[in-house]
């Protein structure tokens, strides 16, 4: 793929920039549908806020980012996929990259029937770490899912089921939604949309820690993320949940509507 580096297109598949490989960086993965980056302003805002909190200023503005992505989509002749935005910094050096990343999305079968997940003791920083709820690139960040397992669910040191290695989690019980409090998880863009949907549809939503032992109390579980969007979970370890739940379907429909509205908007 062609990638953009500080507004210049480069036709290269290898990244030789040592800052990109070894420097500290913040990143965003943005979903592109029909040539348009979905919820780009939300991603830009998360990136900017994360950078601010660690004392780094992003010098590229939003309109530059929109233009970059338009060029990237056009030059790669690729209208659907995931784009990774990486902002890397070291000393006074600031670098910004955007490139397509290969990704396979869940199948129609998985959306209908749900996916299997397993629990793993979290290796992410503790909730008190300053950078915890930013999307900060680090080597230990993501655990790799095993065959047939779609996602690894993180269990923190307090014994709470928090989020997936690359997704957030929601639980349904008596037609009410539950999700971990903000300080325990990454502030996911799709998670934010589900919270917005819950408010719009007057679905009660509780922000509470979910101890592992409480899992059997829930009827349905779903995960959210830029790539899978909203995906039912049918298994966490050996515990089963239904993928066929009215509230879950209503939330999935409402999310599709939001995506379509975003697609129709002109930036
Ligand atoms: N939680 C973690 C740990 C993640 O890495 C991700 C995305 O990669 C998410 C949640 C989902 O975030 P978003 O909805 O912004 O894709």
Q: Which residues contact 44 (CB under 8 A, 6 or more apart)?
A: 28, 62, 65
Q: DSSP string covering 185-233, please?
A: S---HHHHHHHHHHHHTT--EEE---BGGGGGG-SEEEEEETTTEEEEE
β-partners of residue 93 are 90
Q: Which of 38, 49, 105, 135 to mutate to test the pocket of ligand 1 (most atoms within 8 A of CB)?
A: 135
Rounded Cα distance between 28 and 86, Å, is: 7
Is 254:229 a contact under the CB 8 Å cutoff? no
Rounded Cα distance between 74 and 71, Å, is: 5
> Ligand 1, closest atom to CA 226?
16
What residues flank ligand 1, with Cβ below 6 Å?
29, 163, 165-168, 186, 188-191, 224-226
Closest to 164 in 3D by CA, of 137, 184, 194: 184
ipTM of the complex: 0.99
Is 125:133 a contact under the CB 8 Å cutoff? no
Is 185:163 a contact under the CB 8 Å cutoff? yes
The reported pTM is: 0.87
Q: Which domains does the chain have, with CATH numbers?
A: 2-101 (3.30.470.10), 108-263 (3.20.10.10)
CB atoms within 10 A of CB 219: 14
Is 195:141 a contact under the CB 8 Å cutoff? no
pLDDT tens, N- to C-terminus, the chain (267 residues): 556 666 565 555 455 555 556 667 888 999 999 999 999 999 999 999 998 988 888 877 888 888 888 888 888 888 899 999 888 877 777 777 888 887 889 999 999 999 999 998 764 554 443 444 555 443 333 444 445 899 999 999 999 999 999 999 999 999 999 999 999 999 999 999 999 999 999 999 999 999 999 999 999 999 999 999 999 999 999 999 999 999 999 999 999 999 999 999 876
């Amino acid at each position: 793929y062609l990638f953009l580096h500080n507004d210049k297109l480069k036709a290269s598949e290898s990244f030789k920039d040592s800052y990109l490989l070894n420097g500290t960086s913040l990143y965003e993965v943005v979903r592109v549908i029909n040539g348009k980056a979905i919820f780009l302003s939300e991603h830009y805002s998360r990136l900017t806020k994360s950078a601010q909190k660690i004392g780094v200023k992003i010098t590229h503005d939003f309109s530059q980012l929109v233009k970059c992505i338009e060029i990237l989509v056009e030059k790669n002749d690729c209208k659907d996929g995931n784009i990774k935005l990486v902002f890397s910094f070291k000393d006074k050096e600031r670098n910004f990259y955007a490139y397509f990343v290969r990704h396979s999305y869940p199948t129609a079968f998985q959306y209908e029937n749900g996916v299997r997940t397993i629990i793993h003791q979290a290796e992410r920083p503790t909730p008190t770490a300053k950078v915890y709820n930013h999307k900060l690139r680090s080597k230990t960040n993501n655990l790799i899912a095993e065959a047939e397992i779609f996602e690894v669910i993180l269990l923190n040191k307090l014994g709470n089921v928090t989020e997936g290695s690359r997704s957030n989690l929601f639980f349904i019980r008596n037609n009410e939604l539950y999700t971990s409090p903000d300080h325990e998880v990454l502030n996911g863009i799709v998670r934010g949309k589900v919270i917005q949907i819950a408010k719009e549809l007057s679905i009660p939503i509780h922000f509470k820690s979910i101890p592992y032992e409480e899992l059997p109390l829930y009827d349905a579980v779903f995960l959210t993320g830029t790539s899978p969007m909203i995906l039912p979970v049918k298994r966490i370890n050996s515990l089963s949940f239904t993928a066929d739940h009215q509230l879950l379907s209503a939330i999935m429909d409402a999310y599709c509507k939001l995506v379509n509205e975003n697609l129709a908007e002109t930036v």
